[in-house]
Amino acid sequence: MQTDKVYLVGFMACGKTTVARALARRLGWEMVDIDEQIERQERQTVSEIFARRGEPYFRALERSVLLDLLPRRHVVVATGGGTFADPANRAAINADGVSVWLDVPFERVVARVPADGRRPLAADRAAFERLYHARRAAYEDARHRIDAGRAGIDGIVEQLMDWLDR
């Protein structure tokens, strides 16, 4: 095994949380979802935090949770869609463990995002698509890329296990 920590990165609705749970089970490691951690800490959903406090407040919470995770080992971390887009977060993640980009085509993301307001950045389709393309440049800095648009969860976990065992 080439690492003792895996960070899953990628755009919202690409499957980071689901894959992180499955991979952590397979490895016998802990799983942490940064967005879920923030929601527990703040006792609010991500969309409520965005609406009440704004994105800069949320991003500060995100960075704080990430920094708190740095000393922990044998962890699979599901990052938020914007976590890896921040250069300081990206550097911390790549220095601490391996980053894996779950790459999903935009149309598949749109099909997965519920239209119920839980994803505040998805409200405006044109802006959402611009954000998707802007973040791809950051995701390309991940140590490994998985085409997560075609494979199921088990297939993605198998690809990750093969790659981690090299």
User: Tell me: the pLDDT tens digits for 48-102?
Assistant: 999 999 999 999 999 999 999 999 999 999 999 999 999 999 999 999 999 999 9
Q: Report the half-sphere exposure of 25 (CA within 13 A, side-chain side).
A: 10
Judge if pTM exceeds 0.75. Answer: yes
Structure token digits, residue 112: 């997965």
Q: What is the pLDDT of residue 107?
A: 86
Which CATH class for the 5-165 domain?
A: alpha beta
The per-residue pLDDT of the chain, averaged, comes to 92
| Domain-wise residue ranges, the chain | 5-165
Local confidence band at 122 (pLDDT 50, 70, 90 cut-offs): low
Local confidence band at 154 (pLDDT 50, 70, 90 cut-offs): very high
